[in-house]
Amino acid sequence: MLAMVAPAAAHSVIVLPGASQAQSVNATANNFYYNVGDTANLYLYIIHPSESNFAEIAETFNMTQQVIYPNGTIAPVGLTRSSGNVSYDLGNDTFVTANWYSSNIKLDQEGVYYIYSAQKGYDDSGAQTRERGSVTVLYAGNSSTGWDNLKKSGLQTGAPVLLYPATDARGVQAGTSVNFTFAGNMSFFAQEVEDAKDVLDPLPVEAAIYTTPSQMKANGAGIHTLLHVKSNSNPTFSAGVTAAGVWTFMGVNQEGEIGDDNYQAVYVMPVLAASSGGNDNGNGSGNDSGSTEDGDSSIPGVGVIGLIACIGIAGALFMRRK
């Protein structure tokens, strides 16, 4: 099933790599590939990915981060809150102000690194009202060692639900498709909605391509598609990634115009430009995280908005803006 809808998205925890904060907001697919021995500088935002619409991260937000190394070890990562904010012009007299958390990870093992970040919120009584979990994948060197660690041990991070590619997605290029699987307690998504059945079966899934502030100002919002995946004990779907860039896939607890998007499982994945020969994208030696010039970052036109092909889709598409 192919779907075309106008761009919209839910605020999500998104981690972008970059040599600096300014460069992280221009992150492209190449920036997720490193040499062994590099240090990855990471910047955590709360954002509508397709609209570059940043939200404030309040000091009271409970932000945590962990890394799953290629050898399967899981370790906490220290987060540093930004000392100030940055304002971005999105065009049409629209401005957003961003703050962030930063971290860094030494990539001293060859293979696949998974960065799990989470935002938890509570009301005055101490009851939990929000949990937005997000996984960002990084690649070091030429090996795919540890690509299945998220599947095997990702729930050991404490994530209630994880969304991950069912196969090794290292070096995936535009014009292909990727199979995704959910693992964990699917009833996690049934919180804060009127009818849990409408969330659990089928489950709403958003797919969005990250749009930088400068792209938003020049071209408008990027691709966003919301679909329903037929749920079972481990829901799966197949997504066609027709454009190069930074893609986000997220399971959310929405039901039409009712409910909220406070309970999420997100996966952030680079999609490289289709190879024309003679480039080293995806082989671990082409990292240019200090660069903001990359053909992968262009906003796709209308011809690629019909982008998501899904297996086992039930229900109708719907759109919701926070």
pLDDT of residue 278: 32
Within 10 A of 302 (CB to CB), how many other CB atoms are there? 7
- Say how many C-beta atoms besides its own lie within 10 A of residue 76's C-beta: 10
Radius of gyration of the chain (CA): 18
User: CA quadruple 322, 197, 189, 121: dihedral positive or negative?
Assistant: positive
Within 8 A by CB and 6+ apart from 174, the residues are 241, 242, 243, 244, 271, 272, 273, 274
Instruction: Tell me the pLDDT of the chain (322 aa) as tens digits.
Output: 233 333 345 789 999 999 999 999 999 999 999 999 999 999 999 999 999 999 999 888 999 999 999 999 999 999 999 999 999 999 989 999 999 999 999 999 999 999 999 999 988 898 889 999 999 999 999 999 999 999 999 999 999 999 999 999 999 999 999 999 999 999 999 998 888 887 888 888 999 999 999 999 999 999 888 888 876 667 888 888 989 999 999 999 988 777 788 999 999 999 999 985 433 444 444 455 433 233 333 333 333 333 333 333 333 333 333 3
- Which tokens in the block code for residue 227? 């679909």
List the Cα angle 180/174/111 in 5-degree steps.
60
pLDDT value at residue 227? 81
CB atoms within 10 A of CB 77: 16
Residue type, 278: G
